[in-house]
Amino acid sequence: MNLLRTTALGAIAIILPSAPAVAQRYDDAYTAKILEYTTEPFFLTPYVDHLPASETVPTPLDVLGHIVGAPDILSYPAEVHQYMRALADASPRVKVFSMGETEEGREMILVVISHEDTIERLDEYKAILARLGDPRTTPEAEADSLIRTGKPIYWATGAIHSPETGSPEMLMELAYRLAVSDDEFIKTIRDSAIVMITPIIEVDGRAKMVDLHMARHRDPDFPGPSRPLYWGKYVAHDNNRDGIGLSLKLSQHVTRTFLEYRPQILHDLHESASHLYTSTGRGPYNAWLDPITINEWNNLAYKEVKEMTALGVPGVYTHDFYDGWAPNYMFWIAQSHNAIGRFYETQGAGNASTRVLRTNVQRQWHRPNTPLPEVMWSIRNNVNLQQSAILIAMNHVANNKAEFLQNFYRKSQRSIAKATAEGPAAYVFPADDSRLSHQARLLRLMQARGVEVHRANQSFTIDETEYSAGSYVIRMDQPFSRSADMLLDKQYYNPDDPRPYDDVGWTLGPLYNLTTVRIEEPEILSVPMTLMRDSVRAPGGVERISGNPRAYIINYKAANSLAAFRFAHENLRIEAAEESFEIDDLSFGTGTFIIPTSGNGGNLERVLATAGSEYGFTAYGVSSLPSVPTHPVETPRVAIVHTWSSTQSEGWVRLAFDMYGIPYDYISIHEIRDNENLKGKYDVLVMGPSSLDALSTLRGVTGTDPIPWKPTDLTPNIGAQDQTDDMRGGLELSGVINLSRFVKEGGTFVAITSSASLPLHFGLVTGLRIKQTSNLWARGGVFRTQLAADDSPIAYGFGEELAVYFNSSPVFATGGGRGRFGRSGRQAPRTSAAPDPGSTLARRTGRGGRDEEDVIQGRARDLGRAGVEAFEERQDEDEAEADQQGSRATPPPNDNRIIFRFAPAEDLLISGGLKNGAEMAGAPALVDAPLGDGHIVLFSFNPFWRGETVGSYALVFNTLLHHGHLDAGQEDERPTTDQDGDER
């Protein structure tokens, strides 16, 4: 029978197919509150305009004392988790699992909801999806039967972005409704699918957010800030950009859980658009995805848009908001593993207050039904829209379960066929790479993503290149081939394509300073090789060249693990070689660690053997001390500096230091402002990227009354990272003076990207300036730099070229800052107006480097070849020559030491996009500027980007290890200067 249902507000009627014979009783008290808190009838739907009653299962009202979406109420993580556990205790259709802990020790949970029989046999359903997900061992006939018996999993995740507060509330009610409703629409979901819910992804941030909002609801005079300075321990909004590096606990837990359950859909709930945007993105889409996935995005999005629009809800649309290119979002763990990743942006309600909402969203082809320009908005409205739409999507997947499971199997098949269809066949990580610990780290990252890593049993030759036995191979004939390919391949993004939403290039081999070889010849698949069952580790230990070693030598190749080893063994006497040398027929480069046996204790060899296997290095016991100039490898006192305005980007710096166990104090710019004797406390100050310019850093947070950031009875979750009674005020001029004194007294100040403006604008560095680049298009991607000062300790262990992450600015230029009576800095090297490598003639956005061929996924390569136009952009020989000349390093006219420069325009781009590259070609990329007895080290690229730039961490670690000796290798000692900077 059909049931005609009308909402209590009487505005909407819908005919639901085959409703139960006896209508389920409503929870009247709860339902009345839903209607009361919804501001307009058209923000209700038949799916959420009531709550079904249950004799045995508690509602959120029963457990929490308020309904979901009550005004001015936000639930703490502990309350949300408490409710989910109460639900699981009462219903055989619900189970709760722990996913693990966050960095601050809070729990992440997984709620699984389905028919009670399915929950009872959950492991069997997981096994079916695992079988479907690996067509290598599951033939089509078996797959057909598994598709009939299996159930697709739909995983909804909430509150990765802490200010977007509605989804954890909504997910409690959704879980209840799915568990108890007898409505056919809901029963279909329960009977034919499995729903997984993680109500809060960023649990640490949620706790802080609820603290601040509820404190102000409870005490209108509460003086704390309106938004949290920290969300998680390390990063804020960027917690949703860790899908490549998997450095954060939340990414690691989601990935592990995803691989355990193999859901077909991962749906992440966001709240920053009116009224409901469901994702497909604007393109250009990621070029490594199976096109079937993109069809599935559209299928689900259009289903929701159509149904919600038909229900009379205004402002539901798709095809907007982001591009779908970079795989760095959390939900991309699904996209890259033959599943579907998607998200909503709904209109949030922040602190849960009801207020007038104004929008100015124009009608466009993809948005015929625009959001309302002015309307009363409540958190309940947000709950209604999110819940209604996701129920429509879940019901659609349940109703079409065979199609979604079939697609899952098909996409897995096509990922395996990739090796011989579109290619490549494999990636090789050569056994003779000079940074095996970085190689092992990248291979472990692949393993964490479920990617199979093999090791060659014998040497082999492909394309006339011989690879040694022990080389690692990532085969593309495996189910997760795309997950590896999209991170190891090169990217090309045409600057004339629609504006990118985030990074455009991310190739991990170069960013780890590693060799990875893309192999197209399928014959590599026949090379005898063994699947790595355990985590990949770099080899290491002690090798005695001499029977009675006088010293142990560790070749230094800028592997981060050697910095970790040095700081973990502070008491060891270690010298760094300032020149390359040979000893006992072995060759070593600059920066090599020399550890004399004398003065280092009797058990040195045992210490080094243990450390060698832990950190992945070999210590060679040699017959004598090498006769080269050396200086001690230091373990300076380090502080990482934060502002009180934003901590996002410096969080990645802390994360990198913690990853390698480099100790540091964490201080605010107020300590710089207030401490006249910084040198008494620290040797190196590191200031990560900041969202502020130099003047704003000086000014800092403003306001009429003190703004505390510390734990109180109302805000117990605030203050874990740092605390203050007053966030107001910045570095002030006193801070600049203190900083200048610190450096002149021998300190080292490391300033990364935007923070470099501080020493430049306030005259602590001369002969260098930030160049205005009016036409440069160099969005976040991978760029080539060239070594310019190979004898600087900062460059120890690096090669002639280094791939770095750079995003638009700052571009440095030499010259300026000396005043009219000083020596004038020479002009920045001239670059010719070469034809632009990123012009409109360039190929469209897609896989591969700028000069490589794009390849369509999911079909044989030669199918598409004839239609694909290869990029043609050859520079005129003369102009190329002129450009080469122009961007060649010119010795700087002052004491500044340019460590790395950006490459000439035609060599600049490794992955991403570039237009008007001449504006940055040849520019100083990393500069060591002396001041007094100390140094200021300025980065125009970011060595610590989102856990992805492992290969450039060592530039900063080198600066620490050689603090006090950064002038080593200078042909002429630079003149000592007095406190005023005049030469003596």
Which residues sit at the interface with Zn ion, rule CB under 5 A? 161, 164, 270
Other beta carbons within 10 angstroms of residue 968's beta carbon come to 20
What does each C-alpha distance from 558 to 515, 592, 664, 781, 794 come to in angstroms? 14, 10, 20, 22, 10
Nearer to Zn ion, 273 or 936 (CB): 273
- Give least dist CB 164 to Zn ion, A: 5
For the chain, helix (H) and strand (E) counts, in that order, are 28, 41
Nearer to Zn ion, 321 or 581 (CB): 321
- Give least dist CB 631 to Zn ion, A: 48
Residues 123-153: b if buried by 16+ CB within 10 A, e if exposed: eebbebbebbbbbeebeeeebeebbeebbbb
Q: How far is CA 603 from the centre of its chain?
A: 42
Using the 8-state DSSP alphabet, how is residue 826 labeled?
P
What does the alpha-carbon distance between residue 311 and residue 313 come to, in Å, rounded to a whole number? 6
Q: Which amino acid is at 846?
A: G
What does the alpha-carbon distance between residue 760 and residue 294 come to, in Å, rounded to a whole number? 47
Other beta carbons within 10 angstroms of residue 975's beta carbon come to 10
Q: What are phi and psi of 122, to 5 degrees?
A: -55, -40
Q: What is the 3-state secondary structure (H, E, C) of 388-449?
A: HHHHHHHHHHHHCHHHHHHHHHHHHHHHHHCCCCCCCCEEEECCCCCCHHHHHHHHHHHHHC
Nearer to Zn ion, 270 or 963 (CB): 270
Cis bond before residue 810 (omega within 30° of 0): yes
Strand partners, 619: 542
What does the alpha-carbon distance between residue 374 and residue 706 come to, in Å, rounded to a whole number? 35
- Give least dist CB 563 to Zn ion, A: 35
- Give least dist CB 327 to Zn ion, A: 17
Question: Is the Cβ–Cβ distance between 6 and 13 less than 8 Å?
Answer: yes
- Give least dist CB 320 to Zn ion, A: 14
- Give least dist CB 345 to Zn ion, A: 7
- Give least dist CB 254 to Zn ion, A: 15
Q: Which amino acid is at 732?
A: E
Nearer to Zn ion, 202 or 967 (CB): 202
Question: Is the Cβ–Cβ distance between 212 and 227 less than 8 Å?
Answer: yes
Nearer to Zn ion, 125 or 230 (CB): 230
Question: Is the Cβ–Cβ distance between 786 and 888 less than 8 Å?
Answer: no
Token digits of residue 558:
């800028």
- Give least dist CB 482 to Zn ion, A: 25
Nearer to Zn ion, 231 or 657 (CB): 231
Nearer to Zn ion, 161 or 449 (CB): 161
Nearer to Zn ion, 164 or 422 (CB): 164
Q: What are phi and psi of 336, to 5 degrees?
A: -85, 0
Nearer to Zn ion, 166 or 616 (CB): 166
- Give least dist CB 361 to Zn ion, A: 17
Nearer to Zn ion, 359 or 406 (CB): 359
- Give least dist CB 388 to Zn ion, A: 20
- Give least dist CB 324 to Zn ion, A: 16
- Give least dist CB 272 to Zn ion, A: 5
Nearer to Zn ion, 345 or 422 (CB): 345
Nearer to Zn ion, 279 or 618 (CB): 279
Q: What are phi and psi of 444, to 5 degrees?
A: -65, -35
Nearer to Zn ion, 151 or 270 (CB): 270
- Give least dist CB 270 to Zn ion, A: 3
The dihedral built from the CA positions of residue 527, 532, 536 and 539, taken in this order, carries a sign that is negative
- Give least dist CB 177 to Zn ion, A: 24
Question: Is the Cβ–Cβ distance between 475 and 525 less than 8 Å?
Answer: yes
Question: Is the Cβ–Cβ distance between 123 and 103 less than 8 Å?
Answer: no
Taking phi over 0 as left and psi of -120 to 50 as alpha, with beta for the rest, 402 belongs to alpha
What does each C-alpha distance from 467 to 433, 568, 799, 846, 939 come to in angstroms? 11, 34, 21, 29, 36
Nearer to Zn ion, 93 or 270 (CB): 270
Question: In the block, which residue shows the tokens 């593309």?
Answer: 476
Nearer to Zn ion, 102 or 630 (CB): 102
Nearer to Zn ion, 167 or 507 (CB): 167
Taking phi over 0 as left and psi of -120 to 50 as alpha, with beta for the rest, 792 belongs to beta
- Give least dist CB 236 to Zn ion, A: 11
Nearer to Zn ion, 164 or 836 (CB): 164
- Give least dist CB 396 to Zn ion, A: 24
Q: What is the 3-state secondary structure (H, E, C) of 79-118?
A: HHHHHHHHHHHHCCCEEEEEEEECCCCCEEEEEEECCHHH
Question: In the block, which residue shows the tokens 């298009």?
Answer: 777
- Give least dist CB 613 to Zn ion, A: 43
Q: Pairing between strand 529-531 and 575-577?
A: unpaired
Nearer to Zn ion, 326 or 736 (CB): 326
Q: Dihedral angle at the C-alpha atoms of 119, 122, 125, 131, nearest 10 degrees?
A: 170
Using the 8-state DSSP alphabet, how is residue 337 labeled?
T
Give the residue from 378, 282, 266, 364 showing the smallest Cα distance to 315: 364
What does the alpha-carbon distance between residue 717 and residue 497 come to, in Å, rounded to a whole number? 44
